[in-house]
Amino acid sequence: MPLSQIVGNLSVWASFPAFVLYYLFYSSFEFNNPEGRVSDTTTFLNAYDFIVIGAGSSGSVVANRLTEMSDSKVLLLEAGGDETIISDIPGVVHHLQRTNIDWSYKTVPQTGSCLAFKDNRCIWPRGKVLGGTSVLNYMVYARGNKQDYDQWEADGNPGWSYKDVLPYFIKSEDNRNPYIAANKEYHGTGGYLTVEEPTYKTPLLAAFIQAGVEMGYENVDCNAAQQTGFMVAQATGRRGTRCSTAKAFLRPIRKRPNLYISMRSLVHKIIIDSSTKQATAVRFEKGGQIYEVRANKEIIVSAGTVNSPQLLMLSGIGPKDHLNSLGIPLMADLPVGDNLQDHIALGGMVFTINKPFGVVEARYYSLSSLLNYTMHGTGPLASLGGTEGVAWVKTKYAPPGDWPDIQYHFVSATPASESGLFFRYNTNMKDNVWDNYYKPIINTDMWQLIPTLLRPKSRGTIRLASNDPYAVPVIDPKYFSNNEDLDVLIEGTKIALALSKTEAFQLLGTKFYDKIFPGCESHTPWTDAYWGCFIRHYSSAIYHMTGTCKMGPSTDATAVVDPQLRVHGIKGLRVVDCSIMPNVVSGNTNVPAIMIGEKASDMIKAEWLRRKMNAIDVDREEM
């Protein structure tokens, strides 16, 4: 069903005058804003020094930092267009999926997960827009765990320990929470990326934090010295609006004369010299015309965990047998598309309350709510799609120390809080599941806790469907192919249930919605077998796909790029995005993607500075 038809059914359009007011305010602000929107390049040079493919969470950073070298011309290619007015509003995030700013990917049918969704296929939103998935996500600012990065280094990637990457997190950050920004050891101010708490909170958030304390957890800044604990969500927000990486890193530098941004430009192939194995040019389509431009220095692929391996394989870099089967000439036999990881979660755990605190549609899209947001940048529309708090806890399976294995996203809304029409469309949920399970409690005051598996052992793959660059990649995450993943998530679910029984939540009349989930009727309720069935049915991806162009030394047969993020065996080509993660970090991945962009940019600049200095030394010797 087209999005326009769905939107046409929403009661929000009864408040259309408020949207007009907001549009007029926003347009005026953009016109006078020194960080206004970027211009689209329509004519191209024959060559640039650097070509960056993908303007997402990493690519936007790389383009920014490389243009700091004023003598280097940088072309940034993005398959999508610019952000929209609607995508700027945090509270409508769940309406952005499966629109024209989303690649709208689905997995292949799964046998052990996503069983509540049509054809057993999981929805995989990926940003097709300047700013990439930072435009579609729920804006949670989280860095991962110290031990994640120390493990990367221990696995043969020098320079990627926590002490090495922390300065890059700080470098990007402009934290506007005074009590957090005061901790200079872990936080920064003055960076491009604005970080602040959402301007709207419900009383449910205080209950969530207090419930964690009752269970023995501390209320801490989980992006600082200790990750285990409960916290108010920190967000990539700015004055009540979304702070995407395009807004943070591209708009402020849009007038640099050496930056060229081309939107709606789909890259078909990276041209590689078969004899020298040098990446020389990029072929892309824009407006129905094919262009081929050279890179004098490097090509940087920042297209994301799905599209980066897709592009490498289309260019002849990937598993030999797979490429041969598609008639693609082999340039490098590498395990591109393997090692796919994702944070899988239970998405359907709902708790009702007897207080009017939930984010229900009638409050969300009222005229007063829209005007409050337009005029003051607050109210429900300033919330992170209802996400108010996050927490990291340890199950009995977790290793010693501060390395939790479950993350919670605490949400003052649930699937039944949203329009049923939108919800079923966005998730592809089977009609009988919606009708039998969620429809009876639609628009009831509720909250939701989403237990998320942090370090999955299951591994999936990305493969090409054909050698056509327009063909959708074949995505097979193989969730729960390792049963240990399910065991950990079951424990996380039971801890979530215990949290709901604390005094803090019971004061709000909290009650677990204990209707048996469709498809799990044969299991004894509340046993591990039942929870496992529930999880396998309502398996929810959390946008954290990683690993498909794995970083590792040349001795690692599973690696695609080296610790400098250079593609093994190919000169002049790097991958810079979450696909390089050897193992997914223990938290949301948007901010680590930004860190990767920052660190890679310094690597690239340092290498070309060395080459320049070496060339000067050679010239002096010849004189």
Using one digit for the tens of pLDDT, what is the confidence trace for 225-284? 999 999 999 999 999 999 999 999 999 999 999 999 999 999 999 999 999 999 999 999
| pLDDT recorded at residue 3 | 38
Whole-number percent of the chain with pLDDT over 90: 79
Q: Quick check: 382 pLDDT over 80?
A: yes
| Per-domain residue ranges of the chain | 37-83+129-175+245-336+548-623
224 class by beta-carbon count within 10 Å (0-12 exposed, 13-18 middle, 19+ buried): middle
The predicted model scores a pTM of 0.93
- The mean pLDDT of 36-45, rounded to a whole number, is 94
Q: What is the mean pLDDT of the chain?
A: 92
Active site residues: 544
Q: How far is CA 309 from the centre of its chain?
A: 17
| pLDDT recorded at residue 261 | 98
Per the CB < 8 A criterion, the answer to whether 352 and 513 are in contact is: yes
| pLDDT-derived band at 424, boundaries 50, 70, 90 | low
Q: Quick check: 546 pLDDT over 80?
A: yes
| pLDDT recorded at residue 6 | 37
DSSP H helices in 416-574: 420-427, 431-433, 483-500, 503-506, 528-537
| pLDDT recorded at residue 374 | 86
579-601 pLDDT, tens digit per residue, is: 999 999 999 999 999 999 999 99
| pLDDT-derived band at 22, boundaries 50, 70, 90 | low
Angle between helices 483-500 and 203-214 (to 10 degrees): 110
Q: Quick check: 32 pLDDT over 50?
A: no
Per the CB < 8 A criterion, the answer to whether 68 and 360 are in contact is: no
Higher-confidence residue of 466 and 418: namely: 466
Supply the DSSP symbol for 29: H
CATH 3.30.390.50 given to domain 37-83+129-175+245-336+548-623: no
Q: Return the number of other C-beta atoms located less than 10 Å from residue 355's C-beta.
A: 14
Supply the DSSP symbol for 586: S
Angle between helices 367-376 and 16-32 (to 10 degrees): 10
561-584 pLDDT, tens digit per residue, is: 999 999 999 999 999 999 999 999
| pLDDT-derived band at 608, boundaries 50, 70, 90 | very high
Q: Quick check: 547 pLDDT over 80?
A: yes
Higher-confidence residue of 8 and 355: namely: 355
Q: Quick check: 329 pLDDT over 90?
A: yes
| pLDDT recorded at residue 266 | 98
Q: Quick check: 293 pLDDT over 60?
A: yes
Q: Cα-flanking dihedrals φ and ψ of residue 519, to 5°?
A: 100, -10
| pLDDT-derived band at 376, boundaries 50, 70, 90 | confident
Long-range contacts of 216-225, Cβ-Cβ distance < 8 Å, separation of 24 or more:
217/391, 217/393, 221/180, 221/183, 221/186, 222/142, 222/390, 222/391, 222/392, 222/587, 223/141, 223/142, 223/143, 223/169, 223/186, 223/187, 224/180, 224/183, 224/185, 224/186, 224/187, 225/185, 225/186
Q: Cα-flanking dihedrals φ and ψ of residue 290, to 5°?
A: -95, 130
> What is the rounded distance in angstroms from the CA atom of residue 412 to the CA atom of residue 220?
20
Strand stretches in 336-383, DSSP E: 344-346, 350-352
- Could you tell me if residue 569 is left (phi over 0), alpha (psi between -120 and 50 degrees) or otherwise beta? left
| pLDDT recorded at residue 16 | 42
Out of 198-212, 336-350, 372-386, 469-483, which region has the weakest mean confidence (pLDDT)?
372-386
Q: Quick check: 24 pLDDT over 50?
A: no
Q: Cα-flanking dihedrals φ and ψ of residue 622, to 5°?
A: -70, -30
41-81 pLDDT, tens digit per residue, is: 999 999 999 999 999 999 999 999 999 999 999 999 999 99
| pLDDT-derived band at 8, boundaries 50, 70, 90 | very low
Q: Quick check: 495 pLDDT over 60?
A: yes
393-420 pLDDT, tens digit per residue, is: 999 999 999 999 999 999 987 776 655 4
Q: Quick check: 116 pLDDT over 50?
A: yes
- The mean pLDDT of 169-185, rounded to a whole number, is 97
